[in-house]
Amino acid sequence: MEDVLVINFTEDSDAYEALTTLKELDQQGQVGLIGAAVVMRHEDGTIALKDEVGDIGYEGTATGGIVGLIIGILGGPIGILLGGATGLLIGSLFDLDDLDDTDSVLSDVSRAVRVGHASVVAEVDEQAPEVVDTAMQRLDGKVVRRQLADVEAEIAVAEEAQRAAKAEARKQLHEERREEAKEKIEAKVAELKSKLHLDRPVRADRSERTASSQS
C-alpha cells in the first residue's frame, strides 16, 4: 500500500539518520521508497528543505512523487505551483493547522510537521507498516501515516474548489468593474448635462415675449 509518512523526532539529527534508514530499507526490499525529504518549518510557516532522497518533484517541477507537492502545500498559506503553472491556494480553502479539523488528511500531515524541528516527509510503498514503525522507534521517531490515495484525493478536491473560487472571484471583479464603469459614465453624462444647461442662453417664456411685443 502506498502511504504518505510524516515522522518527527526529539533530536533533529535523528531525522537525517531516518532518511538514511528509509533508503537502506528500500535497498533491502523491505519498503519501496518513492521519495523522502528532511524538512524544517520556521516560525512564519515556511518550510525549508534540508535533505532529500529520490526525485521528490519540489519547486513546481512536474516530475517525481507527491512529496514535493506536499512540502509546497505545507510551506505557506497560499500553497504551491502545480506543475509550474496552476496556483493551488490551499490556505484559502481550509486551515491546515486547524485543531478542530478532524476530516482533513492534509491537516493531520501539517500538524505533524512541527515548528522549529526537523521532520521527514516520505512517500513509500509498504507491505507492512511495522517495518518503518519499528525502525523509527529506534530513533524515537513518531510516525503519522496517511494513505496516498486519500492525500491525492484531498489535493484534487482542493484544487477544484480553488478553480471554482477563482472563477467566482473573476466574475465578481468583472461585475464590480462594470458597475464602476457605469457609475463613471453616469457621472460624466451628468457633468455634461450640467455644463450644457449652464452654457445655454436663457430663453424667455413665450408669454413674456408676447407681452413684450405687444407693448
pLDDT tens, 194-204? 777 655 554 55
Cβ-based burial of 133 (10 A; exposed 0-12, middle 13-18, buried ≥19): middle
Asked whether residue 62 carries a pLDDT value surpassing 50, the answer given is: no
Distance CA 59, CA 133 (A): 29
Rounded mean pLDDT of the chain?
75
Provide CB contacts within 8 A for 140, sequence distance 6+.
9, 10, 11, 14
What pLDDT shows up at residue 208?
53
Domain regions of the chain by residue span: 2-159, 167-214
pLDDT per residue over 88-131, tens digit each? 344 444 444 554 545 677 778 888 888 889 999 999 999 899 99
Q: What's the rounded mean pLDDT across residues 74-87? A: 42
